[in-house]
Every structure is written in structure tokens, then in C-alpha cells.
Structure 1
């Protein structure tokens, strides 16, 4: 549910950013705010606390971010505070970044392998996949020993499973179906 709401806020902010030709600048400002809230747990606690008034939260946000964020990002923060949605700022950043990358022709790809890939391997994989898809890829790599070997690739809502665990699960399903038939 919060993802849907975050997408709406991100879409509104993105439209304003496009009108002002400030997509990159606003993304950078939004990232600074989200990272600050993530890194400073006490600040996050204050902003999420129901006993702290909206006015006090907005005053705190203004003081903390007036030199790092423009009027668009500050207005978004105030709006989130007024609507008691302070907790979704990271989701808004994620949705906004996805929209900005789409405009730039960049796809987000999540790659899961059984062993860690070094930076060069990640870049080579991104280049090869990007060429095949006709897009630039932004790679997010994760390690999951449970896949045993191979690779899982997620682009958007599509999962390409070339892992050994995925193949074993497929074989298991074929055997089950074969027994019933």
C-alpha cells in the first residue's frame, strides 16, 4: 500500500521536476534527505513520533535541509508530515529514481548470484545485458548462497532464473507432473 502512495508523491514531484528541467537536481536533494533520515536514527525517531507536532517536525525539517534541498523537496517533506506519511520518504526516492532512470533510458536490474561479483564482472554483465536489451542497466548485485550457482536477474517485474536452484525446482515440478500423467 505504501508503495502505491509513494508512487503518487514521486510522480507529482517528478512532473514538477520535468517542468523545471531539474530532474537530476531534485533526485540528488531527495537522496540527501532520505540518506540523512536513514543514517540518523534519532532524527528519524523524532520525525516519526506521533507526540511531536506537525509544526515542530516541519520546523525541524526546514532548519536541517534548507541549505541542501530546494523548495520542491521541502514542500514534499511538509506535505508528507501534514499527511502523517513521513515514513515513506525512502519509497518516494526509490519510485522517483525509477522514473528518472526510465526517462534516461536506464533500467534497474537486480542480479543475484551464489558468489559475489567484483565491480568489473558487474560492469561486464551490465554491458552485455544492456546491449541485448538496447538499454543501459543500473545493476544492484546481491549474494544468495541458496541459489547454489548460476544467476537470477530481475528487471522490473520480470524474473529470469538461470540459477541451479531454479533449474532443480523446475525438474522437481516436471517429475511431479510426470507422476500424475
Structure 2
């Protein structure tokens, strides 16, 4: 079974429990923290990947690192350790976010701009582009890109909306050459 299928199964189980217990928001926020820690704390990642440590020791370390987590999130992490799926923690979180976003009618979007967007600009982008992808709203991650000359580039899933100056110039060049 492929790793993404495994992660999706764990995420679906956690999603169903969180939905049943009406804890989708809490579990989602805690998984964001877990994902961030797992991505940026190389020491913890090295400890969990180590074959020299026993499973019980790994669980102890995980419990200490994430002591304040909701019991369902912590148990999911411990089960992943039990099943030797430590490397799937980040993907389980990603799959959970996808399920939660589908439930709430939200799409994840990356917006590349020359400067940090204001809250009003984020709301306008969310309202405009959410309708285009059939969602209620967008959860926007703003990425400041100094390579852009002006405008914005928006990525929602595998769709890219290019309103950047460079993109417009490239389209104009193709039009003139054809």
C-alpha cells in the first residue's frame, strides 16, 4: 500500500473522531503545530527515525514533546510509532487538513506577491477566487517573492492564476510571436 494511502487512512480515522467529538478546529490547530515541529525540528525527526531507540523510548519522547495535545491527536501519533510509520506524521496532518477543508468548503491557496498582503486584500482574493474553484473561502498563505516585478500569482491546488507583470509580459510576447 502506498504511503499516501496509509496516511489518508490514519487521517480519515482521526477526522471522523474529531468530527464526532466536535473538535475539528482544535485537532486541526494541534496538527498544524505537530507538522511545524516535525518539519523544522531536525533533532526530534532524527530521534524518531533512529533504529537504536526502542519503541517505548520514542513514545516517551513524543509524549514529552507534545504533552499538551488533545488525547486523539496524541494517540494517533503513538499508533503511528507503534506501526513504524513515524515518517508519515506530516502526511497524515496534510491529509487531515484536506479532509477538514473539504468539509468546511475551504481551499488552501498560496499567493505570491511583491509585499505582504493586507487583510482586506486577502478577503477580496478569497471571495473572488473561492467561487472560481467551487469553495466558500480560501485559506491564504502569502509568500513574498522578490522576483516578481508586480502583481500577484495565486496557486490553488494544481491551478495557477498568474496576474504578475512577468506573466503578462510572457503572454504578450507569445501573442506577438504567433
TM-score by length of 2: 0.77
Equivalences for residues 2-151 of structure 1 within 5 A: 3=4, 5-38=6-39, 40-70=41-71, 72-130=72-130, 135-151=136-152
Partner Cα distance (1:167, 1:33) in 2: 39
Distance 1:146 1:36, change over 3 A: closer
The offset of 1:140, in angstroms, is 0.9
List alignment gaps of at least 5 residues for structure 2: none
Distance 1:46 1:153, change over 3 A: same
TM-score by length of 1: 0.76
- Report the aligned-residue RMSD: 2.9
Distance 1:148 1:3, change over 3 A: farther
List alignment gaps of at least 5 residues for structure 1: none
Q: How many corresponding residue pairs? A: 176
